[in-house]
A and B are shown apart, each in its own frame.
Chain A
Amino acid sequence: MNSLFFRSCLLLCCLSALSGCGDGQNDFGGSLGKRSQPVELVLLEDGRPAPEVLAEDQVVYRGNGEEPETLDPHLAQGVPAASILRDLFEGLTAESAAGDLVPGAALRWNISRDARTYTFYLRRDLVWSNGDPLTVDDFVFSLQRAINPVTASSAARTLLPILNAREVLAGELPVEDLGISLLDEFTMQITLTGPTPYFLGLLASPVAFPVHRGNVEEFGDQFSKPGNLVSNGAFVLSKWTPRVSIELERNPRYRDADATLVEKVFYLPTEDRATEVKQFRAGELDWTNEVPNNQFKWLQTHYADELVISPWMGSYFLGFNLTQEPFIDNPSLRMALILSIDRQIITEKVTQFGEMPSFALVPPGIDGYVPFSPEYADWAQEERDHEARRLYEQAGYSEENPLRVEIRYNTSDNHKKIALAVASMWKQTLGVNATLVNEEFRVFMQNREQKVITQIFRAGWISDYNDPYSFLEMFRTGHGRNDYGYANSTFDALLDEVGTERVRARRERLMFEAERMLMSDHVIIPIYTYVTKRLVNPHLRGWQNNVMDHHPTRNMFKLKSREAMSTENNP
């Protein structure tokens, strides 16, 4: 009697909890009905927004994912830190709102004929946020600091294209031997080991940002704390409470300070995606870092204006371990498994966020590169399934003798859902018995690296820089991240050629060949191209979608709401 009562209470409560937060179909009105609308954007002749449409309070609250590990630009690695650092600092080059490379601290540059020497001409009127003049000395000091072994920076690998960087990092040469020289107070030269067409893009990343020498020497490892940190970007650090908020203020000494409209930015750590969405809905955030995977439909219905989805520079795929059975020298089996996945269903029904089905390694949208597309990309799924069954049998498997295989992934809802979908597609089309194995991230990465117990594993790559080489490089024989055990000397030779080729079109051709070779060796199972997905306050404008997902606050501004406009007009 007693326990029956408890159980029914429990059941009732669970039901109400499910209907309340499961997909949240029922709305009680609340703040939802009263969302204010921004006024129309009016631009002046110079392309800036007209003052009368701007909101009075230019304060932006940005959800930023995890707590940044550091605000020392030379040590920072993660995306959360990089977003803040791009507001605080500016490198020799910078990115526009659309993600295109534009002059930053350098006004212009020349590239030598052999594509190995870059000469940078600094702007002459630059100052730090404390008023000190900013010269090439600061850049030379900073690049040397980033690479100096004493700094022990893992981000320094971004600067490896610079001549002698590897030797300096290994402690074999002094930092003065780096390929960086000073021509005069406002001119500097950087020499590279080989042609690196994406090098200008690398200079826009935090590890190449300048730090104030006196500041670093005075405060040591405390220099990146508020009150100590001197920077040269559009904003300065005013307050930092770990895991609560990081507060930046407009830097009036920034070279383009007149064009910076936002007065204050708050970066709030948002570890829990569901909470982040609730904070957005309660009006506490203007910009979320992400949105939860399972709320797409609900958000699309209720927050269509706020939901922003855009292609990202990353590929999601599964990898084969080519050094273990059953995949050693078994291309037909690998091809059968690649073909029998219906990517459309995965992106539309499983992940649901408008990811783009993919049949190759390099995602579209990279600087002029047209990714390789295999023949079967244009087939209907039935044709692929048909061919898959033929190859499966050719490899010696059948209904009586099915393939037994493990799909391994690190603990995550998304990976699990995808692995489950893939396993059931293989079961349905080929009769494969796939089992799912999930592991904690570092255990998983170690197993991948050791290549002993892995068979098929979750892989993927999100690039740090806008170049296909970033994706291809890790399939080189012996590369630290070559967890596939792929070894093809022709492929390696192609990559070597890419490394020395200075004609852009020829270099792209070589990378295309390399990608084609990799895909016809069936090393990976492409699934989709990543997208970024977030909620943005419709009042917040000035930013643009870009494949790098870089959105400096200096481009942003907030529009007035219609209500505020009408009360002003009819006081």
Chain B
Amino acid sequence: MKQAGVLRHAAVRLLGLIPTLLVLITIAFFLIRIAPGGPFDGEKILPPEIRANLDANYHLDEPLLQQYFRYLGQIVTGDFGPSFQYKDWTVNELIARGFPVSATIGGLAMVLAFVLGTLIGTFAALRQNSAIDYSMMGVAMLGISIPNFVVAPLLILGTAVYAGWLPAGGWDWSWQRMVLPVVTLALPVVAYIARLTRGSMIEVLHSNYIRTARAKGLPEWQVIRRHAFKPAILPVISYMGPATAALITGSVVIERIYSIPGLGSYFVQGALNRDYTLVMGVVIFYGIVIIVLNFIVDLLYAWLNPRIRFDEAQ
């Protein structure tokens, strides 16, 4: 019964993806074209003959609606087209090269943030209102408040320029080049997760079933591990869906500062250069990632929280 409910729920959610994406594509397609200037407008003006050739080459001379349906027909086949800016590469190639980098850094940062964050949060909750609690939450607040464009240059200066332990920037899939970006990305998330965990852990520890567990003589760590942990991280899980999506799709700040070839910069560069195909490709890709991750969070939620069951809604 429960299995069937989950499957039905999954099917409905996946079908719901199509209209959502269609709306997303339509809005993005027309928005980027409403923005002033086109992909070939620069400081140096093009002779009209050349401009006409470029427009014809990229079908920009067609009516907007025709371009829209041409684009829809093209992406149904999974082809995002050639990038206007990076002429030697297709948008598919750029995403295929950028996403693994962003996903690796973002994924590692999320794992690090989850482990550290929940540990710190639980620890602080157990010693609520003590000096340790205050100092941990103080540090966490700092982690949230200091933007990563401040943290990143400081880390580079300390570990690369002065100490020479790690490279200052660049990318080659070695762990040395991953350390700084992963840490920088994880820091604010660690802090956020720690605060979320602490808050909900304190609440859970005051509930009746925890009192029962303690009353039957379980040692404290068992109480936490077997009874308190799962319900306490529920708010963390719902935060992690969108947070993971944000992390694995790349951060333009981190990518610029550490010279990492991730997805985030393509989004910003694409928008600034009016690289229509690149922006559209990345937007659609983002949309899919966020929808899928939210879906996974829903499933995790049901698994963790006995009060939520999909079949009950029917």
Interface locus among A189-197, A264-272, A332-340: A264-272
Question: From residue B140, how far is it (CB to closest CB) to chain A in Å?
Answer: 10
Q: Does the CB pair B161–A30 fall under 8 Å?
A: yes
Q: Decide: A269 and B56 in contact? CB cutoff 8 A.
A: no
Residue pair A153, B50 in contact (C-beta under 8 Å): yes
- Contact residues of A between 219 and 261, Cβ < 8 Å to B: 221-222, 224-225, 241-245
Q: Name A residues whose Cβ lies closer than 8 Å to a Cβ of B.
A: 2, 5-6, 9-10, 13, 17, 20-21, 24, 28-31, 67, 69-72, 75, 149-154, 156-157, 160, 166, 169-171, 221-222, 224-225, 241-245, 268-272, 274-275, 278-279, 281-282, 284, 440-443, 445-447, 464, 479-481
B141–A6 contact, CB under 8 A? yes
Determine how close the nearest CB of chain A comes to the CB of B269; give it in whole angstroms. Answer: 8
Cα–Cα distance between A47 and B314 once the two chains are bound (Å): 87
Residues of A within 8 A of B162 (CB): 28-31
Q: Identify which of A6, A20, A71, A242 contacts B261 (C-beta below 8 A).
A: A242
Q: Are B97 and A242 in contact (CB under 8 A)?
A: yes
Residues of A within 8 A of B53 (CB): 149-153, 169, 171
Q: In the assembled complex, how far is the CB of residue B228 from the closest CB belonging to chain A, in whole angstroms?
A: 25
Residues of A within 8 A of B154 (CB): 17, 20-21
- Hey, which chain A residues are within 8 Å of B261, CB to CB? 241-244
Query: Which residues in window 208-234 of B have CB below 8 A to A?
Result: none
What is the interface of chain B, defined by CB distance below 8 A to chain A? 35-38, 40-47, 49-50, 52-54, 56-58, 82, 85-89, 94, 97-98, 134, 138-139, 141-142, 145-146, 150, 153-154, 156-157, 160-164, 167-172, 256-259, 261, 265, 272, 274
Alpha-carbon distance between A154 and B143 when the two chains are bound, in angstroms: 47
Q: Complex Cα distance A241/B87, Å?
A: 14
Q: Are B170 and A70 in contact (CB under 8 A)?
A: no
* Alpha-carbon distance between A67 and B209 when the two chains are bound, in angstroms: 59
* Of the residues A153, A242, A284, A447, contact of B86 by C-beta under 8 Å: A242
Q: A20-B154, A67-B86, A169-B50 are in contact. Are A279 and B170 (CB under 8 A)?
A: yes
Interface contact A224-B88, CB-CB below 8 Å: yes
Neighbour of B94 across the interface among A28, A152, A153, A242, CB < 8 A: A242
Q: Are the CB atoms of B49 and A169 closer together than 8 Å?
A: yes
Q: In the complex the two chains form, is B145's CB within 8 Å of A271's CB?
A: no
User: Could you give 20 example pairs across A and B, Cβ below 8 Å?
Assistant: A20-B157, A21-B150, A67-B86, A71-B88, A150-B53, A152-B50, A153-B50, A156-B50, A221-B88, A224-B88, A242-B94, A245-B170, A268-B170, A278-B161, A279-B169, A441-B37, A442-B35, A442-B38, A442-B272, A446-B37
Q: Are B259 and A270 in contact (CB under 8 A)?
A: yes
Q: Return B146 CB to nearest CB of chain A, in Å.
A: 6
The answer to whether B87 and A282 have CB atoms under 8 Å apart is: no
Q: A10-B142, A30-B163, A271-B259 are in contact. Are A442 and B36 (CB under 8 A)?
A: yes
CB contacts (< 8 Å) of B82 on chain A: these are 221
Query: B86, A269: Cβ atoms under 8 Å?
Result: no
Cα distance, A149 to B256, chains bound together (Å): 36
Q: Are A157 and B41 in contact (CB under 8 A)?
A: no
Question: Which 3 residue pairs across A and B have the least CB separation, nearest first?
Answer: A442-B37, A30-B162, A480-B45
Measured CA separation A221–B258 after assembly (Å): 31
Tell me if A445 and B41 are in contact (CB < 8 A). Answer: yes
Residues of A contacting B163 in the complex (Cβ-Cβ under 8 angstroms): 30
* Docked CA distance A213–B151 (Å): 51
Closest to B162 in A: A30
Q: A152 contacts which chain B residues (CB < 8 A)?
A: 50, 53-54, 56-58
Given A9-B142, A30-B162, A157 and B257 contact (CB-CB distance below 8 Å): no
Given A153-B50, A481-B45: A271 and B157 within 8 A (CB)? Answer: no
List, in ascending order, chain A residues with CB within 8 A of B139's CB. 9
User: A446 — nearest CB in chain B belongs to which residue?
Assistant: B36
Given contacts A24-B157, A278-B161, 15 further A-B contacts (CB under 8 A): A2-B134, A20-B157, A21-B154, A31-B161, A69-B85, A152-B50, A169-B49, A225-B88, A243-B265, A268-B259, A278-B160, A279-B169, A284-B168, A442-B37, A446-B37
Name the residue on B nearest A272 (C-beta).
B256
Q: Which of A13, A244, A275 contacts B146 (CB 8 A)?
A: A13
State whether B167 touches A282 (Cβ < 8 A): yes
B46 nearest CB neighbor, chain A only: A154
Complex: A70 Cα to B87 Cα, angstroms: 5
B150 to A17, Cβ gap below 8 A? Answer: yes
Q: Distance in Å from the Cβ of B39 to the closest Cβ of chain A?
A: 9
Q: Are the CB atoms of B169 and A278 closer together than 8 Å?
A: yes
Q: How far is the CB of A2 from chain B (nearest CB, A)?
A: 7
Given known A442-B36, A446-B37, contact A282–B160 (CB-CB < 8 A): yes
Cross-chain contact A440 with B272 (CB below 8 angstroms): yes
* Cβ–Cβ < 8 Å partners of A5 in chain B: 134, 138
In the docked arrangement, what's the CA distance between A221 and B41, Å?
A: 23
CB contact under 8 A between A72 and B168, given known A270-B259, A445-B43? no
Q: Which residues of B contact A13 (CB under 8 A)?
A: 142, 146
Partner of A30, one of B49, B52, B97, B164: B164
A443 touches B156 (CB 8 A): no
Minimal Cβ-Cβ distance residue in A for B261: A243
Q: CB distance A154 to B40 under 8 Å?
A: yes
**Which residues of chain A are near B257, meaning CB under 8 Å?**
272, 274-275
Contact A157 B85 (CB under 8 A): no
The answer for the CA separation of A7 and B82 in the assembled complex, in Å, is: 50
With both chains docked as a complex, state the minimum distance between the C-beta of A171 and any C-beta of chain B, in angstroms.
8
Q: Please measure, in the bound complex, the distance between the C-alpha atom of A6 and the C-alpha atom of B142, giving whole angstroms.
A: 7
Partner of B170, one of A24, A150, A153, A284: A284
Task: Check A284–B47 contact: CB distance below 8 A.
Answer: no
Determine whether the beta carbon of B156 is less than 8 Å from that of A10: no
Bound-state CA distance A150–B47 (Å) is 16
Chain B contacts for A71, CB-based, 8 A = 88
Least CB distance, A32 to chain B, in whole angstroms: 8
Given A268-B259, A284-B170, the answer on whether A275 and B156 have CB atoms closer than 8 Å is: yes
- A149-B53, A244-B261 known; A282 vs B168 contact (CB < 8 Å): yes
A63 to B284, CA, bound (A): 32
Q: Are B258 and A275 in contact (CB under 8 A)?
A: yes
* Cross-chain contact B171 with A244 (CB below 8 angstroms): yes
Q: Are A284 and B169 in contact (CB under 8 A)?
A: yes
